[in-house]
Chain A
Amino acid sequence: MTEASTRETYGKTLVELGRENENIVVLDADLSPSTMTTFFAQEFPRRFFDCGLQEQNMIGIAAGLAASGKIVYVSSFAIFVSCRCYDQLRVCLSQSNLNVKIVATHGGITVGEDGTSHHAIEDLALFCALPGFTVIVPADAVETAAAVRQAARDYGPCYIRLSRPKTPLVYSEGYQFTSGRAVTMRQGKDATIIAAGIMVAKALEAADALARQDIDCRVINMHTLKPLDEHAVVAAASETGAIVVAEEHLAQGGLGSRVAQVVGSELPVPMGFVNLGDSYALSGKADELLERSGLTAKGIEKSVRSVVERK
C-alpha cells in the first residue's frame, strides 16, 4: 500500500486554508517543524503564534482569539495538548464552546522510540469526555486533508489526532468526508470490524485474510469518535451479529468503550477489542511496538474468529 504522512498533509492543508480565509490563525508550542505548522508560519507569519513550551497558556490564548472571531488551529504533540492542559481545554474550550481546532500529531504508540512519556494513548478518552468536542481520527492522509478542511467549516471545538510516521493510504483523491458519518469500507455479513486511524488499513488486511477462511467481514472506518455514528454501529450489530473494535489507544474511554455503550444499550452482540489494554508501551520501533501490543491485522483476525465463534 502507498504511504503518506498525515502531518505533512495537515501542514499543507493549513496553508491552503490560510490562503482561502484570512480569519484562520495558528498556534503551536515549539513543535512547528514536527507538527508541520511551519508551512503556515512561513507563509503567514503574522497569523502564526509560537507559544513556546506553554501548552496551558496556548489553550487560553486560543480561546481568547476564538472569542474575538478567529478560527484557531492549535497544534502540538497529542500527549502534550491533551494531558498537559486538560483543565484549560475543559474551561476555556468545552465549557466556553469556542471555535478552536486542536490538531495533534504524534498520536499513539507509533511515536515509537521516544517511549512512554510521548505515547498519547489516553487522549481520545480525554477529548471524548469533553462536552461539545468533535473527536476525529483520520485513517490516512486523504482523510486528514478532508477532516482539517471540514473543521474550518463547522463551528465548535474539535480534536483531530494524527500520527508521526507515514501511514498507508486507504482513500484516493476525491473521497467525500462527512464528520460524524462512518464509512463502510467493505461489506460483510459474518462480523464487523470497526476501526479508526492506522487500524483501518490493518482491518482491511484482516478482512482479506478472513475472507480466505470463509469469514465475510464488514469493515467500518469510524473516523469520528464523537459524535459517534450510532446508526452504523446498530446496523453492524443487527446485520452481522458480532463486532470487533480496533484502535491505537488504551482500553478505557476510546472507540471501543463508545461502541460498546451503543451495542450494550441497543442490541447486545458478542464483541472483541483490539487495543492497548491497561498498560503503557515502551521504546521501540513503531512496527515492533504494534506487533508487541497485538495491534496488527493478525491480532484483529484472531479477535474476529473469537467473536464469530461466540455468536
Chain B
Amino acid sequence: MPIPSRDDSRRAVDIVSYCRIQSGLSSMPDHSTSSAAGRPVGSRFNLSTPELRQMATRLRRHVITMIATAGSGHPGGSLSAADIVAALYFRILRHDPDDPQWPDRDRFIMSKGHAAPILYAALAEAGYLPVSELVTLRRLDSRLQGHADRKSTPGVEMSAGSLGMGLSFAIGVSLAAKLDTKAYRTYALLSDGESQEGQTWEAALSAAQFGLDNLVAVIDYNGIQLSGWTRDIMSLEPFAEKWQAFGWHTIDIDGHDIDQILSACSEAEATKGRPTAIIAHTVKGKGVSFMENNVAFHGKAPTREEAETALKELE
C-alpha cells in the first residue's frame, strides 16, 4: 500500500469545516456519524497552524469538561501536552480513524498515561469515538479508562499509567517497522517526571543501540510532577545533554509553539541513523490561568465553578 503524501488533504476538508462549525462543548454533535464516508485510507489530517491552535484549544476544553465531569483526573499534564497532541494528530501522523489497526499507520504512544484525557479528546475529534462519549471518562463501563488502556479504547496503542514504560514499548513498535520494512514512524510522548524512572534510560540506551531513526520521543517538559517542581525533587538537568550522551539527536522547542513542533518533527524525520528526542518546554496547566504552574492541578479535578472559569478562558 503506498504511503499517502502530506498533500492528501481530502480528509482535512471534513475536519476543518467541522471545526469551523463548532463553537461550544454543549452543542457538539456525535462526530462518529459524520466521520467515515469517502475518506482516503491512511491520510493525514492537514490543519494549518492557526487551525491547529484552535484545535489545541478545543482539546483543552474537552479536557476540562471531561475531568470536571468525572470529578477526578489529571488536568495539568493534559493541558501542557495539548499543542503537541493537536499537531501530531491533525498534521503529522498518518492515521485512519476508520481503521485504527491500519498496519501502516504512524504510532502515537502515550507513555504519560495519566494524560489520557488529552489523547481521548484528540481521538474523538479525529473520529475514533463520538465526542459525546468523552464525558464518560472514568465511569463504570466507559471505554475511557482513568489511564490509557489499549484494550478499551479504539486508537489507543498502549496501556499505560505506571510511568517509564512507553519508550520501551515504542522501541518494540519501531523495531517491528524495521523488520517489516514499513515506513511508519513512532512518536512516544513522555513526561519530565517519568524521565526519573530508570527504565526510560534503559530505553534511551537501547533505541540508540538499535539505530531507530524512525522513533521520536517527545518530552512534555512542564517542570512539575505530583508533589512539586521536578528540579527540586529529582532534577533532570542537564537534560538535552543526557539524551545526547545516550546517542540521541535532540531538539529543544517551545512546546506550545505549533510551528516549532511541526518543524521539530520534520527535523526528526530527516535525521538518520539515530532516534530524536524533542524536548518540548511547556507550562503545566497551560491555557487556564489558575492551573498554570500550579502543582495542585497535577491530579485534582476542577470544581464546577473552576471548570466554568476555565472554559471561559479557553474561548
Contact = CB atoms under 8 A, between A and B. Distances in A.
A217 B149 CA distance: 48
B278 to A, nearest CB: 19
Nearest to A55: B202
Interface string A17-49: 000000001000000000000000000001101
A59 to B, nearest CB: 7
Interface residues of A, number: 30
Contacts of B168: 56-61, 63-64, 88, 92
Contacts of A52: 205-206, 209
Given A46-B179, A67-B157, A87 B169 contact: no
Given A60-B168, A92-B165, A96-B151, A68 B202 contact: no
B54 interface: no
Indicate the member of A64, A66, A97 with the most B CB atoms within 10 Å. Answer: A64
A68 B174 CA distance: 9
Interface in B172-209: 172-177, 179-180, 198-199, 202-203, 205-206, 209
Contact of A25 (B162, B170, B179, B203): B179
Interface string B121-164: 00000000000000000000000000001110000011111100
What's the dominant secondary structure at chain A's contact region? helix
Contacts of A96: 150-151, 158-159
Contacts of A70: 176, 179
A54 interface: yes
Contacts of A58: 168
Given A54-B205, A60-B199, A92 B159 contact: yes
Contacts of A49: 175, 210
B171 interface: yes
A69 B176 contact: yes
Given A54-B206, A57-B203, A68 B172 contact: yes
A68 B177 CA distance: 8
A227 B114 CA distance: 33
A85 B206 CA distance: 17
Interface in B249-264: none
Determine the interface band of chain B, counting residues with CB < 8 A from chain A.
20 to 34
Contacts of B160: 91
A62 interface: yes
A67 B169 contact: yes
Contacts of A289: none
A56 B167 CA distance: 11
A95 interface: yes
Contact of A61 (B109, B149, B206): B206
Nearest to A85: B199
A67 B172 contact: yes
A65 B169 CA distance: 8
Contact of B172 (A63, A87, A90): A63
A64 B179 contact: no
Interface of A: 25, 46-47, 49, 51-52, 54, 56-70, 87-88, 90-92, 95-97
24 contacts: A47-B179, A52-B205, A56-B165, A56-B168, A60-B167, A60-B172, A60-B199, A60-B203, A61-B168, A61-B171, A61-B172, A63-B168, A64-B174, A65-B175, A66-B172, A68-B173, A69-B176, A87-B162, A88-B165, A90-B162, A91-B159, A92-B169, A96-B151, A96-B159
Given A58-B168, A61-B168, 10 more contacts: A60-B168, A61-B206, A63-B172, A64-B109, A64-B168, A66-B172, A68-B173, A91-B161, A92-B169, A95-B159
